[in-house]
């Protein structure tokens, strides 16, 4: 499973879903440096602050996990053990639980930052050989509402557009996203496009006046949870002004009449009141969208991380469908993927309700195809536990053991108390990670050192279906090995060796590509060799002479059974927890520009701390004044689930009644306990199972 590192090789940034191309240069001492790859079609040589500083996270080995560490009981100290001892015990424990309590007593929780090959092996091991669908990843916290929305409206989890559509569009609706901070290179392309074409219109929907909102022609600063009311109002306005594409609606969609009935239930004025925005601003948004030649919607976690996240997605997708702005250059819905390989993970079926190559878990023929391909009697038909459900199940004692890879759920999952209790109550916890700073590892019985970015090869798929090859450039320290190799060794120890006898990651990829043949995401024309030569390609790539597919649905044939897109009429209720006189403020959480997730990587780069070096809560001046809070005051944010202590940042950029906490900080810093997920709750969308991170009732007091 190893290959020789070279001096200067191409890779892809391992942070966000933009997937910027990187050239990694290695000096004689083995230290690396990074620069943007000018030949990359998406990023064109640009990198943001996080990407530009990636080499520090690789060169600094001081916090790396170097050896397998194990303990026999929770009170014991961790001891260094050999890989054989570690995996012998893990294999025995997991086999024993599966035998004694059934396959659903175990599960694997992974990450959208893993390579596709790693995802493939994990998914095959759990669904094919452990016999449970209990494999979920932190993509559940990120894109699962968008996945469900695409599937319901377009028939498949399929982003129709490509980055080059940005320069071909004249109107953008950016909602629930702050690409200026969270998808910076997409934003730079958008900024450059607007600067060259000043008539380009940008409408931003966000309760906060973010940097993205600052460059908008219209900022609709809505009340949290009122997104559907707004999109339905825009839909109504477009219908009333006859700014819809009736020909497209009649010939290529179903559901329009019911939709029309639904959106006519509220007047624009009523919608403006509910959303807390000016009626004129909604009218201008309708005007801009109605006269657009090319209309793109962009969204991220502000929509997805909601108890009605799927309905929010559907109501937004409707705007592209009723205007016929899909399947043509410069138009379409464009979900901004949070993580670099969330899409690659979905391609292999790496969520508890998915099957390989977007096959349908409910379809017995699809399950049989997978089982036959893997050479197992069957794959289970019942969806497994989602991210939050796994930790609830560990807490209740139903699930006994969990294998956690490449993610830090104690900080990133909502309602941290439940996660902590789940980890404490688990009979066996394995944490497979790169760094020794993972908060979750403190609860592990077995910690396994994984190779990091540049220390292994494989592929990732970014936001516009572009699959890139990542070269191996450096050697992993100590005894760390790639995640896929750890899982292969585990499979062999568990007795499934014949089905996991891959020599290189290219073999894993070849098997994955073969399994996609004949599906809508057919990449049977791809291989590591081809990707190395081409750098990157967009799926589907169904044959070796296919050059990939920049844009989907150009023939107006959708992936639904009748090939027509579905316009869904969805209710506009928000089912988040209610605010009250005791907990009157709405807490929303999110990212800051220079940090990533739980800071295990970005937190060790001093340059990145210069932007914002400590946690804070944003609060509107009116809300601060009635509580006697001054800028910089230490404050206590609390609700029934827990509390957070940080300093107040008073700003007009946030809507009155709403407060914002960054999601990154998980530990005690400056005597402040800053984990935002102490406060977030367990509500999830009933379809996507994505948590309601953007809406928790809280109160703030001076501390
Ligand atoms: Fe990396 Fe995203 Fe920044 Fe590109 S935009 S350099 S992928 S963090």
- CATH classification at residue 650: 2.40.40.20
C-beta 179 within 6 A of ligand 1: no
Same domain as 369, residue 483: yes
- Any residues with CB less than 8 A from the CB of 228 and at least 6 apart, and which? 308, 311, 312, 315, 570, 571, 572, 573, 574
- Under DSSP, the state recorded for 603 is G
Same domain as 499, residue 624: no
- Under DSSP, the state recorded for 198 is T
The predicted pLDDT at position 339 comes to: 87
Residue 331 lies in a domain: yes
Residue 27 lies in a domain: no
Tell how far the Cα of 27 is from the centroid of ligand 1, in angstroms.
23
The predicted pLDDT at position 2 comes to: 44
Domain boundary among 311, 336, 361: 336
pTM of the model: 0.96
Domain of 155, CATH number, reads 3.40.228.10
Q: Give the residue from 442, 351, 439, 357 showing the smallest Cα distance to 390.
A: 351
ipTM: 0.99
The predicted pLDDT at position 283 comes to: 98
Same domain as 604, residue 481: no
Q: Give the residue from 303, 122, 137, 119 showing the smallest Cα distance to 207.
A: 303
Same domain as 153, residue 280: yes
CB 442 within 8 A of CB 408: no
Same domain as 177, residue 107: no
C-beta 47 within 6 A of ligand 1: yes
C-beta 476 within 6 A of ligand 1: no
Q: Give the residue from 644, 643, 652, 591 showing the smallest Cα distance to 624.
A: 652
Residue 547 lies in a domain: no
Same domain as 358, residue 507: yes
Same domain as 378, residue 311: no
The predicted pLDDT at position 6 comes to: 53
Most informative mutation of 12, 14, 166, 184 for ligand 1 (most atoms within 8 A of CB): 184
Residue 304 lies in a domain: yes
Residue 549 lies in a domain: no
Residue 703 lies in a domain: no
C-beta 13 within 6 A of ligand 1: yes
Same domain as 647, residue 529: no
Domain of 529, CATH number, reads 3.40.50.740
- Phi, psi dihedral angles at 429 (to 5 degrees): -125, 125
Question: CB-based burial of residue 74 (10 Å sphere; 0-12 exposed, 13-18 middle, 19+ buried)?
Answer: exposed
Same domain as 368, residue 384: yes
- Domain span holding position 656: 585-680
Q: Classify 57 as helix, strand or coil.
A: helix
Same domain as 345, residue 328: no
CB 333 within 8 A of CB 316: yes
CB 636 within 8 A of CB 703: yes
List the Cα angle 687/688/694 in 5-degree steps.
115
Residue 110 lies in a domain: yes
C-beta 149 within 6 A of ligand 1: no
Same domain as 481, residue 426: yes
Condensed to tens digits (0 to 9), the pLDDT of residues 664-678 reads 987 644 444 889 999
Q: In which residue ranges of the chain is pLDDT below 70?
A: 1-6, 667-672
Q: Classify 218 as helix, strand or coil.
A: strand
Tell how far the Cα of 17 is from the centroid of ligand 1, in angstroms.
7
Residue 59 lies in a domain: no
What distance in Å separates the CA atoms of residue 376 and residue 133, rounded to the nearest whole number?
Answer: 14
> What b-and-e string marks burial along 118-127, b requiring 16 or more CB atoms within 10 Å of the CB?
bbbbbbbbbb
CB 321 within 8 A of CB 153: yes
Domain boundary among 314, 336, 358: 336
Protein residue with its CA nearest to atom 2 in ligand 1: 16
**Which residues are paired to 64 by β-bridges?**
435
Most informative mutation of 18, 46, 461 for ligand 1 (most atoms within 8 A of CB): 18
The predicted pLDDT at position 12 comes to: 95
| Omega prior to 488 cis, within 30 of 0 | no
Same domain as 344, residue 326: no
Number of domains in the chain: 3
C-beta 256 within 6 A of ligand 1: no
């Amino acid at each position: 499973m190893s290959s020789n590192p070279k001096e200067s090789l191409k890779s892809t940034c391992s942070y966000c879903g933009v997937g910027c191309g990187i050239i990694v240069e290695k000096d004689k001492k083995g230290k690396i440096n990074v620069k943007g790859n000018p030949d990359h079609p998406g990023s064109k040589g640009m990198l943001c602050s996080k990407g530009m500083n990636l080499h520090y996270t690789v060169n600094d080995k001081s916090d790396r996990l170097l050896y397998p560490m194990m303990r026999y009981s929770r009170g014991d100290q961790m001891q260094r053990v050999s890989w054989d001892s570690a995996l012998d015990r893990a294999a025995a424990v997991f086999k024993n639980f599966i035998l004694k309590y059934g396959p659903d007593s175990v599960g694997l929780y992974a990450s959208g930052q893993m390579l596709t090959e790693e995802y493939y092996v994990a998914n095959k091991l759990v669904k094919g050989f452990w016999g449970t669908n209990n494999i979920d990843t932190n993509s559940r916290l990120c894109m699962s509402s968008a996945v469900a929305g695409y599937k319901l409206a377009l028939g498949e989890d399929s982003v129709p557009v490509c980055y080059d559509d940005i320069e071909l569009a004249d109107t953008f609706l950016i909602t629930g996203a702050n690409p200026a901070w969270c998808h910076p290179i997409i934003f730079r392309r958008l900024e450059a496009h607007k600067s060259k074409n000043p008539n380009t219109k940008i409408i931003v929907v966000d309760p906060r006046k973010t940097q993205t909102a600052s460059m908008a022609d219209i900022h609709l600063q809505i009340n949290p949870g009122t997104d559907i009311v707004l999109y339905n109002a825009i839909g109504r306005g477009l219908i009333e002004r006859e700014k819809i594409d009736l020909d497209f609606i009649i010939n290529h969609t179903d559901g329009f009449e019911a939709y029309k009935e639904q959106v006519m239930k509220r007047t624009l004025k009523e919608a403006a009141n509910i959303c807390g925005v000016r009626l004129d601003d909604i009218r201008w948004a309708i005007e801009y969208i109605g006269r657009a030649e090319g209309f793109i919607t962009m969204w991220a976690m502000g929509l997805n991380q909601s108890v009605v996240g799927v309905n929010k997605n559907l109501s937004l997708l409707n705007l592209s469908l009723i205007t016929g702005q899909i399947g043509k250059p410069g138009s379409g819905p464009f979900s901004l993927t949070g993580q670099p390989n969330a899409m690659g993970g979905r391609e292999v079926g790496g969520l508890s309700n998915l099957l390989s190559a977007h096959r349908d878990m409910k379809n017995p023929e699809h399950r049989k195809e997978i089982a036959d391909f893997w050479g197992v009697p069957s794959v289970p038909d019942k969806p497994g536990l989602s991210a939050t459900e796994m930790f609830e199940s560990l807490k209740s004692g139903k699930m006994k053991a969990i294998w956690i890879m490449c993610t830090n759920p104690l900080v990133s999952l909502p309602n941290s108390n439940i996660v902590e209790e789940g980890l404490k109550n688990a009979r066996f916890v394995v944490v497979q990670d790169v760094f020794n700073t993972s908060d979750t590892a403190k609860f592990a019985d077995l910690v396994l050192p994984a190779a990091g970015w540049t220390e292994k090869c494989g592929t990732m798929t970014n936001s516009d279906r572009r699959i890139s090859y990542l070269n191996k450039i450096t050697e992993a320290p100590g005894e760390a090995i790639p995640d896929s190799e750890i899982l292969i060794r585990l499979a062999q120890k568990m007795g499934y060796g014949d089905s996991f006898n891959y020599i290189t990651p290219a073999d894993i990829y070849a098997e994955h590509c073969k399994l996609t043949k004949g599906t809508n995401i057919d990449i049977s024309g791809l291989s590591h060799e081809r990707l190395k030569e081409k750098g990157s390609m967009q799926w589907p790539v169904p044959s070796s002479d296919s050059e990939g597919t920049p844009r989907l649905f150009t023939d107006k044939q959708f992936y639904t059974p009748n090939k027509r897109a579905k316009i869904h009429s969805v209710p506009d209720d928000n089912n988040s927890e209610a605010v009250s006189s005791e907990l009157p403020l709405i807490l929303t959480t999110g990212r800051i520009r220079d940090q990533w997730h739980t800071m295990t990587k970005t937190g060790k780069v001093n340059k990145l701390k210069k932007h914002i070096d400590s946690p804070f809560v944003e609060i509107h001046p009116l809300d601060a004044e009635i509580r006697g809070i001054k800028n910089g005051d230490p404050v206590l944010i609390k609700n029934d689930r827990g509390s957070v202590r940080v300093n107040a940042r008073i700003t007009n950029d946030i809507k009155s009644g709403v407060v914002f906490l960054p999601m990154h900080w998980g530990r005690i810093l400056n005597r402040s306990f800053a984990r935002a997920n102490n406060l977030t709750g367990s509500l999830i969308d009933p379809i996507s199972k994505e948590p309601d991170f953007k809406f928790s009732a809280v109160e703030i007091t001076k501390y």
